[in-house]
Amino acid sequence: MTEMKKSSPPPNLFSSLPYDVVLNILARISRFHRPTLSLVSRSFRSLIASRELDATRTRIGKTEDCVYVCLDLNQNQRINPRWFALAPTPKQQRSVPIPSFPYVYPKSPTVVSNGSELYIIGGYAKRRTGRRSKSVFLLDCRSHQWSKLKNMRVGRPNPAAEVIDGKIYVIGGCLSNKSEDWGEVYDIKTQTWEPLSPETLALTAQKSVVPGRLVMGGKVYDMNGLELNCRKHIRLVEMDKNVFCQILVSGGKLMWRDAKEDLEWGKVLGLEEMSTNYFVSMSNSCGGTRVIVWWEKDLEIWCAEVSFERYRFEDPWGIWEIEVSHRSEQLWGVVEWSKSVFDDEYDAVFRHSALVTH
């Protein structure tokens, strides 16, 4: 009786496929699965790390929004705040730590994003000296590599900032009364800074959304000559094409009013299940049509994405506790998702957040 031959293992299906097909398949998988996929084999690890994979994702339009959050751990003056990436769906791992910031982290900077890049702009150079910082730092969210860009012309803590047509516009935050120091613009391609005039046509849209105010990065600012004051905790949300609402965090609740009218603030309805949570911060998401709110609960830091629906509504019985009874329109919030993102065992404090697309 002849000895039975041992069955040979089946061929690797991926290795038998054309290279372009393999890239096309892997490009459709979330970035948050890449660490696991890289353990499959050495060839997989090489593919996951290749620039061609990112290029393929961009070409086929398979990008995903990812929230990045900065937390101050232990509030230790000698330890830099830490950035984390949040998985795009609640069921995935809560947060992934980003490599530590390799420089001295500024106090009170402004954070903006542009596609897969995150910028930390200005602030105070050192937490104790109070010197205004000219520094700008970049986080490449594809490779999670930090780098330092060319300094601004003027130090600016808490400046207004927004990316418009491939350029970073930065306004306010400086002590100078010179009009040429009012703002400056950074060309991402040429990597140069130029003075920005208050009369520049590039800011026409930012000045027209809320009458008498400037809107930058979804935030609303009061303008008094060359002076710029941020209306803290207010975000602008686009309800429809060129139709906006202002959303405010006040007393731990979400409030709203029309962007064009200085009416009293009304409560955002439909969030009663979250009303016991005290919202501490808010940021824009989904192209400015939604917000992400942050709060602390049971020694954890939570976040939720909220979309909005606006319509005419009457409540003669006061069931929904409408603070302004004469309103003909109401705003409802819809919780798209919510999740715990960090155990607060280290006495973590929320600092910044940004939405990145890659």
DSSP string for residues in 237-248: EEEETTEEEEEE
Per the CB < 8 A criterion, the answer to whether 214 and 229 are in contact is: no
What is the pLDDT, as a whole number, of residue 128?
Answer: 62
Assigned token pair, 200? 């520049």
Give the DSSP letter string of 151-219: PPSS--SS-EEEEETTEEEEE-------GGGSEEEEETTTTEEEEE-TT-GGGHHHHHSSTTEEEETTE
Kindly give the confidence (pLDDT) of every residue in the chain, 358 residues in length, as a single tens digit, with 9 standing for 90 and above.
Answer: 444 444 444 445 667 889 899 899 999 988 888 888 888 878 888 888 888 998 999 899 888 888 999 998 876 667 899 999 987 666 565 688 999 999 999 999 999 999 999 999 999 987 666 799 999 999 999 889 999 999 999 999 999 999 999 999 999 999 888 888 999 999 999 999 999 988 888 888 888 888 889 999 989 998 887 788 888 778 999 988 888 999 999 888 899 999 988 788 999 999 887 766 778 788 887 778 899 999 887 778 888 999 999 887 666 666 555 444 445 688 999 999 888 888 766 677 889 999 998 8
What confidence score (pLDDT) does residue 250 get? Answer: 87
Torsions phi, psi for 276 (to 5 deg): -80, -10
- Cα–Cα nearest to 102, from 66, 138, 55, 131: 138
Whole-number Cα distances in Å, 268 to 111, 274, 303, 323: 26, 11, 17, 10
Distance between CA 54 and CA 232 in Å, rounded?
37
Q: What is the pLDDT of residue 242?
A: 82
d(C-alpha 136, C-alpha 106), whole Å: 10
Q: Give pLDDT, residue 177.
A: 85
Give residue 286's pLDDT: 73
Structure tokens at 262: 């200085």
Task: Round to whole Å and give the CA distance between 206 and 228.
Answer: 14
